[in-house]
């Protein structure tokens, strides 16, 4: 191909492989290895370190679609649609087997060894875990790309049928429509299903790269002819300028504090706004699409125009990686775990890490290249028993190892840890996946799974002191976040505050969770206003209580139960939607003994009703000055059996003496609801149900609750951690 050529440009020969695509996919493999193995190094200047406006993952998915379009257009023309679709499904089966093998091998080994990307998974039910992996409902760091690729290949036959019928516009229209809808309605358009552990590659957004590449690959020959007279060097120059501007913009954005005369928190909030709303990776924001288009065009045109020198300099290395990209990706996962453990245990000074990381990344790439050239451990991807041996072995290993439950699922006091920049943690969470690297001694870095924000919910951050999450909370060691999530029961987004204890994003552990409900005249800001967050943070720092997660949701004027008349299902929102969302989003302990619910006034009513009706969810309940109206006093609470099914007093009469939550009641001695609170106490006493009742001086007013916040936290600490030793 390279002989007798006066031009440096690429000239295809026949209908064989397009070596430019193989070479670029090889570069994508190189970038992923550098970004996933060891940690920050000088080589990040080439890859962007998973923090640039586009990354190797976008290139890998796009090129995979492009190659599939190229290959299957020829296969369908040669062998017919039926045979070709069967081959596509066989490819999907191979990818499925590879994905579950990697998942079942990497997850238990990572959790057992407490490597820094471990998430503290609960393995108390090994069969459930195994089924979730086999059903593609569970993924993990570094295994998420193969899972996404499996789903895309599984769906691709439908797109190939449409393409073979000349309906390219339908394929592209549906793909881009789904991407656009996901930007504004992520919860409503999540496809094909919710996948635990997937914090980065959401199929509804990422599919746009694959199916756009598929359509371009299908029409590659025609597009090449149409663009034969296109001024490629002019386009190369334009894409070069665009790429340079992106690099410069990225450099400026990371140094905004130097140019922007504002408080550091304002600069950081603006940077996070750009990362989340403009260049967000997990949701594939519009800016990321544009950046990928510019950078990919530049690389493709550069390779096209300078093919001969690029081929001579890098072809020998990149082409084998690109032509065996799937093998290279799987093999680099096998290499990543032992390297991570080795680096995590090595006490090297900080000055040595960058050059050492670069050396390790180069060595890993060299090892991959040798394995591919020697074709070691290659398995026929379409036939034979060998491709089933590894999945079966992984399943057997899972069933043997997981009952040992090596994950850290018990609460306990955290060891002291060096301070880190909280902004760095938030940036890492904005990208959904932790940066590979070694954490400080005795500290484990874990990505915080955060709810996916909709573009409808993102606003340019305020500049100035008002940018704080809550005006009631000052400096704390933990984290307070204001989050929205979609409640199916209410059919709308609901807000909540969540307090995450100190070191949440640096430790492999799960935490008890406390839901605190506000009163009738309050909002989700009420408990922070009464000092709950500050008190919890101080008590945890002083080791007077154990770390816990506190969720403070919005409940309007609902009494936190399903409504009569309007039919608003606030009870289902409180006892189903919110717990499911919290359990799937944050590292909370499983089991009702680790889940508490409390509330003041109206929230005390809701807490008792929720826990008495659902002791399997909430094993601890606290009612602080609960408002307990009679039947008929609140129309929306209904009458007759409807009211009886929500009234804490009547629910207490039906409470099982053998399976009930741990109960706390308190009220001021001048509280107008004291008689009703004491009635609950007498009902529980008659049924032989142990509980605590505290009557203290005070009224039904904010001052009373502020004075007793510490008492409440100590109760929840005792109830949620009965075996602790301080």
- Residues 30-45: tens digit of each pLDDT: 999 998 888 788 998 8
Q: Could you tell me whether strands 479-487 and 492-500 are parallel, antiparallel, or unpaired per DSSP bridges?
A: antiparallel
> Are 86 and 237 in contact, with CB atoms under 8 Å apart?
no
pTM of the model: 0.63
The confidence score (pLDDT) of residue 391 equals 66
Say if CB 101 and CB 388 are below 8 A apart: no
pLDDT averaged per 10 residues, the chain (length 726):
59 72 93 87 86 89 94 93 92 90 85 68 74 88 90 95 96 97 86 79 93 94 74 88 92 63 53 76 91 94 91 93 90 87 69 83 94 76 54 65 50 34 43 42 36 57 42 73 86 89 82 94 84 91 92 93 87 94 88 94 96 94 95 89 93 89 95 94 94 93 90 94 58
Nearest-Å Rg of the Cα atoms of the chain is 29
Answer whether 489's CB lies under 8 Å from 509's CB.
no
Tokens of 630: 């009679």
Angle (CA) 575-581-586 rounded to 5° is: 120
Q: Which two tokens stand for residue 239?
A: 């894409």
- What was the pLDDT predicted at 1? 43
Which of 229, 256, 285 terminates a domain? The answer is 229
Last residue of a domain, one of 229, 255, 284: 229
Calpha distance 396→104 (Å, rounded): 9
* 576 within some domain: yes
Closest C-alpha among 446, 451, 574, 452 to residue 510: 446
Tell me, yes or no, whether 160 lies in a domain: yes
- Residue 520 contacts residue 570 (beta carbons within 8 Å): no
Quick check: 619 and 590 in contact, CB under 8 A?
no
CATH number assigned to the domain comprising residue 501: 3.40.50.1820
> Last residue of some domain: 229, 249, 267?
229
**Total domain count, the chain:** 2
Phi, psi of 484 (to 5 degrees): -115, 145
> Whole-angstrom Cα distance, residue 546 to residue 536?
9
Strands 549-553 and 620-624 come out as: unpaired
Give me the pLDDT at residue 409, please.
42
Of 529, 523, 528, 527, give the one whose Cα is nearest residue 557: 523
Domain assignment of residue 532, given as a range: 476-720
Separation in Å, CA 335 to CA 3, 55, 367, 387: 39, 21, 9, 20
Q: Is 422 contained in some domain?
A: no
Evaluate whether residue 504 is within a structural domain: yes
For residue 196, tell me if it sits in a domain: yes
Is 523 exposed, middle or buried, given 0-12, 13-18 or 19+ CB atoms closer than 10 A?
Answer: middle
Q: What is the pLDDT of residue 267?
A: 58
- Report the pLDDT value the prediction gives residue 388, as an integer from 0 to 100: 59
- The single-letter DSSP state of residue 192 is S
Query: Tokens in use for 541?
Result: 């720092």
Residue keyed to tokens 């090892």? 367
Q: Where are the beta strands (DSSP E) in 528-569?
A: 549-553
- Whether 260 is covered by a domain: the verdict is no
First-to-last C-alpha distance (Å) of the chain: 74
């Amino acid at each position: 191909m390279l002989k007798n050529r006066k031009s440096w440009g690429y000239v295809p020969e026949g209908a064989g492989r397009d070596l430019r695509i193989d070479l670029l996919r090889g570069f994508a493999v190189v970038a992923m290895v550098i970004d996933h193995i060891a940690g920050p190094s000088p080589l990040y200047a080439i890859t962007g370190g998973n923090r640039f406006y586009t990354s190797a993952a976008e290139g890998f998915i796009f090129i995979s679609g492009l190659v599939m379009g190229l290959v299957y257009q020829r296969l369908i023309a040669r062998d017919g649609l039926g045979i070709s679709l069967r081959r596509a499904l066989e490819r999907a089966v191979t990818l499925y087997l590879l994905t579950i093998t990697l998942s079942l091998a990497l997850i238990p080994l990572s959790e057992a060894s407490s490597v820094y990307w471990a998430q503290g998974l609960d393995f108390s039910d090994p069969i459930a875990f195994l089924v979730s992996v086999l059903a593609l409902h569970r993924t993990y760091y570094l295994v998420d790309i193969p899972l996404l690729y499996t789903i895309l290949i599984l769906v691709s036959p439908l797109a190939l049928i449409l393409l073979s019928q000349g309906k390219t516009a339908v394929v592209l229209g549906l793909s881009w429509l789904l991407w656009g809808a996901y930007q504004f309605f992520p919860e409503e358009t999540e496809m094909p299903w919710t996948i635990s552990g997937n914090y980065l590659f959401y199929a509804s957004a990422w599919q746009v790269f694959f199916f756009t590449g598929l359509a371009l690959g299908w029409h590659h020959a025609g597009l090449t002819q149409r663009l034969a007279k296109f001024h490629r060097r002019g386009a190369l120059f334009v894409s070069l300028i665009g790429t340079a501007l992106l690099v410069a913009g990225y450099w400026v954005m990371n140094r905004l504090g130097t140019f922007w005369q504002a408080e550091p928190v304002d600069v950081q909030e603006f940077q996070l706004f750009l990362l989340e709303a403009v260049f967000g990776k997990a949701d594939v924001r519009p800016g990321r699409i544009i950046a990928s288009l510019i950078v990919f065009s530049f690389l493709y045109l550069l390779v096209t125009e300078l093919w001969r020198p690029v081929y001579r300099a890098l072809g020998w290395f990149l082409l084998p990686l690109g032509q065996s990209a799937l093998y290279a990706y799987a093999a680099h996962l096998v290499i990543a775990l032992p390297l991570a453990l080795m680096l995590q245990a090595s006490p090297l000074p900080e000055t040595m890490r960058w050059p050492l990381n670069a050396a390790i990344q180069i060595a890993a790439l060299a090892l991959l290249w040798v394995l591919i050239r020697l074709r070691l451990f290659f398995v026929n991807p379409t036939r034979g028993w060998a491709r089933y041996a590894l999945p079966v072995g992984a399943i057997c290993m899972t069933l043997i190892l997981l009952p040992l439950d090596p994950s850290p699922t018990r609460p306990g006091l955290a060891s002291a840890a060096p301070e880190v920049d909280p902004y760095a943690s938030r940036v890492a969470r904005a990208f959904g996946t932790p940066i590979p690297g070694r954490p400080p001694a005795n500290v484990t870095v874990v990505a915080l799974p955060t709810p996916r924000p909709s573009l409808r919910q993102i606003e340019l951050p305020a500049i100035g002191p008002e940018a704080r999450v809550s005006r009631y909370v000052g400096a704390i060691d933990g984290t307070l976040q204001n989050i929205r999530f979609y409640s199916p029961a209410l059919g709308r987004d609901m807000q909540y505050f969540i307090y995450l204890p100190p070191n949440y994003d640096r430790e492999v552990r799960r935490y008890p969770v406390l839901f605190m409900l506000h009163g009738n005249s309050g909002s989700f800001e009420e408990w922070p206003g009464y000092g709950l967050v500050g008190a919890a943070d101080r008590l945890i720092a002083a080791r007077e209580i154990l770390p816990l997660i506190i969720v403070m949701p919005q409940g309007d004027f609902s009494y936190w139960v399903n409504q009569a008349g309007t039919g608003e299902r606030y009870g289902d929102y409180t006892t189903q939607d919110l717990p499911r969302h919290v359990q799937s989003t944050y590292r909370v302990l499983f089991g009702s003994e680790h889940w508490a619910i409390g509330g003041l006034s109206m929230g005390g009513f809701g807490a008792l009703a929720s826990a008495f009706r659902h002791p399997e969810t909430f094993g601890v309940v606290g009612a602080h000055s609960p408002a307990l109206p009679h039947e008929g006093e609140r129309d929306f609470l209904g009458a007759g059996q409807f009211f009886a099914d929500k009234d804490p007093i009547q629910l207490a009469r039906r409470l099982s003496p053998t399976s009930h939550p741990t109960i706390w009641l308190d009220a001021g001695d001048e509280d107008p609801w004291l008689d009703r609170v004491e009635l609950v106490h007498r009902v529980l006493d008659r049924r032989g149900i142990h509980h605590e009742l505290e009557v203290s001086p005070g009224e039904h007013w904010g001052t009373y609750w502020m004075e007793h916040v510490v008492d409440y936290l100590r109760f929840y600490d005792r109830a949620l951690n009965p075996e602790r030793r301080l």
